[in-house]
């Protein structure tokens, strides 16, 4: 927990484009999000987001799984690398590898993820396609604490978007992504301000146990 005026040290993990990373870094560098991005770490040395991070003067590192004999050794090495930056919060932002206990247990309670669905609906991959195939009329994104259960940790904040007639995967993904860029910095800001925490297997906001996530509609303002 950080007190007024301090910036929470954060490490962001990415695998690709890094647009959620960008949403967070831009607010941090503008002084509207009280975090210091200590490093951006990727499992893919060619992740486009790493190049962007370097252009913003951020420290970057990558660790490719191919260099390790098994998943557990990789997770241990990744955990050691991330821990070396002494983060108060680990932010998974499009990190597309499943993290095992060797990693998760080390950061539980101080690790968030963003997932492109209204959890608990549609854990895993291809969420936009699955929403369209199921004929659902709403969709969205969720920020949640990471636990051992894949996409199953306590959900903190969700944005709901409508599914429109004529939507395809790309149009729906774009509408959801726009909301990801709003809710992820907001939830990270809550954590950095000491308003959001993880205890007893649950998320707590302003001292209240969140039995259900805070849900915003695409048109709502988010209370800072
Ligand atoms: C985002 O849509 C994020 O929700 C999703 O990957 C994309 C990354 O985009 N994450 C997952 O699917 C995690 N299971 P970005 O690299 O532009 O932030």
Domains (ranges, CATH) in the chain? Answer: 8-217 (3.40.50.170)
What pLDDT does residue 223 have? 63
The tens digit of pLDDT for each residue in 202-216 reads 999 999 999 999 999
Write down the pTM of the prediction. Answer: 0.96
Nearest CA residue ID for atom 16, ligand 1:
18
Q: Which atom of ligand 1 is nearest to the CA of 113?
A: 13
Report the mean per-residue pLDDT for the chain. Answer: 96
Rounded CA-CA distance 80/76 in Å is 6
Is residue 29 predicted with pLDDT exceeding 70? yes
181 is catalytic: no
Q: Whose CA is nearest to atom 6 of ligand 1?
A: 94
Q: Which pLDDT score is estimated for 191?
A: 98
pLDDT at residue 222, as a whole number: 72
Identify the burial level of 25 via C-beta atoms within 10 angstroms of its C-beta, where 0-12 means exposed, 13-18 middle and 19 or more buried: buried
- Buried-exposed string 72-100: b where 16+ CB fall within 10 A, e elsewhere: eebbebbbeebeebebbbbbbbbbebebb
CA 92 to centroid of ligand 1, rounded, Å: 9
Vertex 79: Cα angle to 69 and 18 (nearest 5) = 100
Task: Describe the strand order of the beta sheet including 138-145 as a list of residue ranges.
Answer: 60-62, 35-42, 8-14, 89-92, 111-115, 138-145, 155-162, 214-217
């Amino acid at each position: 927990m950080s007190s007024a005026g301090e910036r929470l040290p954060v490490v962001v993990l990415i695998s690709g484009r890094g647009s959620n990373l960008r949403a967070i870094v831009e607010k941090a560098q503008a002084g509207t999000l009280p975090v210091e991005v200590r490093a951006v770490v990727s499992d893919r040395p060619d992740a486009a987001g790493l190049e962007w991070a370097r252009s913003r003067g951020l420290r970057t590192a990558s660790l490719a799984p191919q260099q390790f004999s098994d998943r557990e050794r990789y997770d241990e090495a990744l955990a050691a690398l991330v821990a070396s930056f002494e983060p108060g919060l680990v932010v998974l932002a499009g990190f597309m590898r499943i993290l095992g206990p060797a990693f998760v247990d080390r950061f539980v309670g101080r690790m968030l993820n963003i997932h492109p669905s209204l959890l608990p609906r549609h854990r895993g991959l291809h969420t936009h396609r699955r929403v369209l195939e199921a004929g659902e009329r709403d969709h969205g994104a969720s920020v949640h604490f990471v636990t051992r259960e894949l996409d199953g940790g306590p959900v903190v904040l969700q944005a709901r978007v409508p599914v429109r007639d004529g939507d395809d995967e790309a149009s729906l993904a774009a509408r959801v992504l726009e909301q990801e860029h709003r809710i992820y910095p907001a939830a990270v800001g809550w954590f950095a301000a000491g308003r959001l925490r993880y205890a007893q297997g649950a998320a707590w906001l302003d001292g209240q146990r969140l039995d259900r996530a805070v849900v915003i509609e695409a048109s709502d303002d988010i209370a800072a």
